[in-house]
Structure 1
Amino acid sequence: MRRYGEPRLPGKSYRARPGVYAILPRGGQVLLTYQAGIHHEFQLPGGGIDPGESPVTALHREVFEETGWRIAKPRLLGAFRRFVFMPEYDLWAEKICHIYQAHPVRKLAEPPEEDHSVHWASPEQAAISLGNPGDRAFLQSLF
């Protein structure tokens, strides 16, 4: 599996953290989430898969929590890994990022998750804005 970002740091113990993330095109634009607080970056909507949860169920839950949107027809595009420190969990993580394409169907609410806001961008602007190179690579390969 391809790695993006920094390599594993010697002497650090990493915990595997599988997650799901969505590329959500609509009307020539892509839906992104901006996470303020600790990260201050644009991201593909998504996050960790809870124990016992299926990836697709996690994708629907995470997209709604971060954007307030419901999605349809998720299709797995691929996966990559990255090694990061997650300050919100005080955790060195090996994030295993599964990337899906899905259709944003309907906005039901403002993002329920604190410090998240929704932004629409052209695919070109989204690729420039995304905070991690793995997300950018999958977005660019799709468009």
Structure 2
Amino acid sequence: MIRRYGEQVKQGQRYRRRPGVYAILLDGGELLATHQAEPVPEYQLPGGGIDPGEHPVAALHREVFEETGWKIAVTRRLGAFRRFTYMPEYDLWAEKLCSIYLAHPVRRLGPPSEAGHRAVWMPAQAGLDLLGNDGDRAMLARALGQLR
């Protein structure tokens, strides 16, 4: 069973399953995150939805580049969680299946290409408080615990 974080499932609400991939990008004691301005300003692990027919790791590279401007090297899959949420940018009630990967930032290639995103470096420990959803924070805590 995949652990659920966040909002309770709303009875009677239909959700569309949306698989996605997200990266915990660590460099020493620093975490590379993305800050999304809309619809609610928040820090997030970079990543997003997997397009139909796209391999998850290819989607991870694409999404991280779009949201941070960085090329990455993927180390391994850390785990997964799910959350039920409304996505106003798509007018969609989604069951997000979030696969989390450990990765390293390799080289900054430019600014984020996805509108409303900004790459942000922060102390990894600060991410435990600043990341905008419970699942991201839990996975970061797991990653940091395994690295000690």
Q: Cα deviation per residue 1:43-102 (whole Å; 9 max; x = unaligned)?
A: 000000000001000000000000000001331001000000000000000000000000
Structure 2 residue aligned with 1:106: 107
In the TM superposition, structure 1's runs of 4+ consecutive aligned residues that sit over 3 Å from their partners are none
Letter in 2 for 1:105: V
Q: Residue 107 of structure 2: SS of its match in structure 1? A: strand
Aligned twin of 1:72: 73
Percent identity among equivalent residues? 62
**TM-superposed deviation, 1:33:** 0.2
How many residues are aligned here? 143
How far apart, in 1, do the equivalents of 2:28 and 2:101 lie? 18
Larger mean CA deviation between 35-44 and 58-67 belongs to 35-44
TM-score (norm 1): 0.98
- Structure 1 contact 56–74 (Cα < 8 Å) conserved: no
| 2:64 matches 1:63 | yes
The residue correspondences of 1:8-19 to structure 2 (distance < 5 A) are 8-19=9-20
SS of structure 2 residue aligned to 1:128: helix
| Gaps in structure 1 of 5+ consecutive residues | none
What value does the CA root-mean-square deviation take over the aligned residues?
0.7
Checking the alignment, whether the CA contact within 8 Å between 1:70 and 1:106 is kept in structure 2 is yes
Residue 29 of structure 1 corresponds to 30
Question: In 2, Cα distance between the equivalents of 1:142 and 1:118?
Answer: 20
SS of 2:22 mapped into structure 1: strand
- Partner residue, 2:118: 117
The answer to whether the 8 A contact 2:33-2:119 is kept is yes
Secondary structure at 2:105 match in 1: strand
Q: CA deviation at 1:27?
A: 2.8
Amino acid at match of 1:70: K
How many angstroms does 1:124 deviate by?
1.4
Residue 137 (structure 1) aligns with: 138
Q: Structure 1 stretch 69-78 or stretch 129-138: which is displaced more?
A: 69-78
Whether the 8 Å CA contact 2:20–2:98 is kept in 1: the answer is: yes
Letter of the 1:104 counterpart = P
* TM-score normalised per structure 2: 0.94
